[in-house]
Structure 1
Amino acid sequence: MGWYNETHGGKYFDLTPNGVRFKQFVGVIQAGDLVIEVLPKVGKQAAQGQEAVWSKVLLDMLAECHWMQVEANEKAFLKHRYNSILEAYLEVYVMACEQLLRQGLIKRYRLQDVNCKALKGKLLFGKNIQYNLVHQENFYTRHQVYDQNHLLNQILLKALRLVSTLSKSPLLRDRVQSLLLNFPELNDIHVNAQTFEKLHYNRKTASYRDAIEIAAMLLLNYRPDISGGSNHVLAILFDMNQLWEEYIFRALFKKKKQGWFIQPQNQKRFWFADNSRSFKLVRPDISVTIDKKVYMIIDTKWKLPDYNNPADNDLKQMFVYNEFWDSKSAILLYPSAEFSENISFDSGYFKNGDKELHRCGMLRVSVLAENQKLDRQLGERLVTFIEDEIERCAKVYSIKS
């Protein structure tokens, strides 16, 4: 597992004398028979005794952000309470393959080089002489065939074979074996990132997209142990900062008011090198635009501010955002594990001498609802807060659209 982390620049975790310290990544790592589930937590407070709660929250956030393509409340694995997020992904993949098999695996035309009894297609003279000098009743030809032995189906089959070795659930493994028995004979292929980059979908193959995305995640993140033994490493990990940003954006976008434009990663160039084409970008997480004017900048942080004060670098970042987008309000948005109907907001402002330039505050929003599930009303409460904050800024700074 340490080798796997090192091959990825040590970005997932740090090895310590007494164990492992994970960074901002959450998900699951399987090394041989050892499965480690890395769950999100708010600040330094561990989710001890709440593993099932935060596992469900993580799955729901992945589904909400379409990083897991099937809605969480529709997953059969929730009925069985598997112990790992990995089993959840395997379940989703098996369900997708079962659906494709029920619909019927698509066929495609392909060229086949084969020694046959009839002359069809193009005769390959060199191969024909090599194989049929004695048996002149045969013909070595290249011709078109229309069957299921093509790249999409080959990827599905390869990932299914991997699932049968990864899953610890007898029920899921039985379903995989049933799928393997019903799959046609296909060529075994070697896959890498380029394999998936060259795939193109059309109306006929669009139903394969979700299954192929999960197959890519499984196959590209699977690594045999470097010692050549029976162990293997599979890591399905997500950057919690990116997931939190995406979740907040989608929550806002769903509940935005008419005339609002919610934009993620709105970027501008702010530094240029002399005598070269290089430059640097400034890029806030979320901007709220009304009538072509940016009223608010939001930067999401999956952490808690130290000593209840924002970091200097975070404040400088927000100051630049306000200046470049001519916004009068910037928000540092943090998570909270404690449910509250009211949003906790510590207001503040940037000041130059006696002149107040623009506002920047710290906003804490609850991840969990009162029922200990993902808070589905977060977007609505955020929109209400933004409306109130825009109104306050309009009065203080006499903003004109």
Structure 2
Amino acid sequence: MVLRIKDNTTYAKDTFTTVQSVTKKIADQTLGQLEREGIFVFPETMASAADITNEQMVLRSKNNCYCTCNVMGFLGYGQEHLIIESRFSTGRQDNFFQYLLEKVLALPNVVNLNTNASQEYHLFDWSALLLPYFLKKAMRKGVFKTYVRHQYNDNHVKGVIDVARHVRTNTPFIGKVAYNQREFAYDNQLTELIRHTIEFIKAKPYGQRLLQSVKIEVVAITTATNNYEFYARSKVIAANKKNPVRHAYYHEYGTLQKLCLMILQHDKYQIGLGVHQVQGILFDGAWLWEEYVNLLIGDSFHHPRNKGGEGAQELFNKDDGGQIGLIYPDFISQNSTLRVIADTKYKPQNNIGNKDYLQVLAYMFRFDAKKGFYLYPESSETNDLKLFLNSGSTYDDNVVARSDILLIKCGLKIPCDIEDYGEFKMAMTQNEAIFKQRILN
């Protein structure tokens, strides 16, 4: 059974009757808890996205309803599949989600993620599409190298003698000694797993095109894995499941290892068996939207990133000269004379308020900005909503709007009435030009 729902939407609990098992497993569970159950969350480091936390939920109970948040993706339990689309999906097509993946992650449009057929392969489709991104990211640190135990039988003993194997192999004694030696090698269980995944994807109709962007990385892995054998795949999978990468320096390889296992085991989609009872892949829509907006306006704005502390700013200077109050505004204009602060929000205009207002006003006060923006995706044609900061107090009966401090809710129109993906991209290009003009003028 398959149920399709949309992000940032409220549904009656009766809606989930056909997928009760998967709903029971994920309802009111935080993303941190689901990740530990085997869910693949993108971006892979939760702290890298300001709008997503370990405590955020995919489905949150509220009276007799379930509320979705900024997360999109696929979840499954047994024969039940729950697909969370963007709220701009037409029901048959989710062009906006696919457009974000193509723009932000440079994913080629080689797999139809919108088809209603073969839903059990959605997990494979999405995970396969992500392989080039994570392969390239991991291999920035070079080909993974670790200690491997090799068996030898010669007269140049350099390791620990394997007595049992020596007696079995070298009786009667012919001048050779059986021994084991640990060597630092590129050809190891992880690189073998990556090689098996590459070969598996190559066999798909779209495999060559999908791997086109990582030709150098594919050659490096192929060269390093001289011991590759097609029929050793099950053995390699078992070894990697038993020995996950835990070293902090190689955490990118740890994520890649998890992704490769997901791809190679898609045909054994037995949710509820073993340790990982729920499987799936989830994308943070807020992160995708923020990175997409950066592609549009990044030439005119600084873009601090929470992950790694890139572009971190401080609110205060202590009396001893130290800094305190770390903040990461989404966008700070490069024009320091007429400073502008922009904050991305992957939620409807009416849901932007309360803490959102306080956050951006704090950023504006910190950087002496007179103008601020909320940048959000919009399903209908709407004019900018301009909010002028009040001065005065109701106690003194002198509340008036200030003309010098302005917050603007600026939406990018997402064409929801176009099903053809090519036409959708053309419409988006036109809407992007209008969107940029409203922000930069």
**Number of the residue aligned with 1:119:** 155
CA deviation string 1:348-399 (max 9, x = no partner): 22243465442112112212277452513444223211232xxxxxxxxxxx
User: Partner of 1:243: helix, strand, or coil?
Assistant: helix
The answer for the alignment partner of 1:152 in structure 2 is 191
Secondary structure of 1:122's partner? coil
**AA aligned opposite 2:354:** D
* 1:120 Cα deviation after fit: 3.5
> 1:239 deviation in Å?
2.0
Partner of residue 240 from structure 1, selected from 281, 285, 290: 285
Superposition pairs of residues 110-259 of structure 1, within 5 angstroms: 111-114=148-151, 116=153, 118-125=154-161, 127-128=162-163, 130-133=164-167, 135=171, 136-137=173-174, 138-142=176-180, 148-157=187-196, 182=230, 187=236, 188-189=239-240, 190-192=242-244, 194=246, 197-198=249-250, 214-215=259-260, 228=274, 232-253=277-298, 256=299
The residue matched to 1:64 in structure 2 has which SS?
helix
Larger displacement relative to structure 2 (180-189 or 4-13): 180-189
SS in 2 for 1:269: strand
Secondary structure of the residue aligned to 1:28 is strand
Are 2:426 and 1:387 aligned? no
Q: Structure 1: 5+ residue runs without aligned partners?
A: 97-105, 164-169, 173-179, 202-208, 389-401
In structure 2, the partner of 1:51 is 91
- Residue 337 of structure 1 deviates from its aligned partner by 1.4
CA distance in 2, matches of 1:160, 1:17: 49
Q: Structure 2, unaligned stretches of length 5 or more?
A: 1-21, 35-54, 134-142, 207-227, 306-310, 393-399
Amino acid at match of 1:198: Y
Alpha-carbon displacement from aligned partner over 1:146-182 (angstroms, at most 9, x marks no partner): 8854422224537989x9xxxxxx989xxxxxxx984
* Aligned position for 1:319: 361
Contact 1:351 1:357 in 2 (8 A): no
Taking a change above 3 Å as real, the CA distance of residues 312 and 58 of structure 1, as seen in their structure-2 partners, is same
Q: How many equivalent residue pairs?
A: 333
If the length of structure 2 is used for normalisation, what is the TM-score?
Answer: 0.59
State the identity as a percent: 14
1:88 shift after superposition: 2.5
C-alpha distance in 1 between matches for 2:438 and 2:286: 22
Amino acid across the alignment from 2:79: D
SS at match of 2:102: helix
Q: 1:324: Cα distance to partner?
A: 0.8
1:65 pairs with 2:111: no
Superposed CA deviations along residues 197-230 of structure 1, whole A, max 9, x for unmatched, are: 52789xxxxxxx997684277699999756649x
CA change 1:131–1:110 in 2 (3 A) is: same
- Give the counterpart of 1:332 among 345, 370, 374: 374
Whole-angstrom distance in 1 between the partners of 2:328 and 2:186: 48
Deviation at 1:293? 4.2
RMSD: 4.8
For 2:250, the aligned partner's letter is: K
Amino acid at match of 1:23: C
* Letter of the structure 1 residue corresponding to residue 344 of structure 2: T
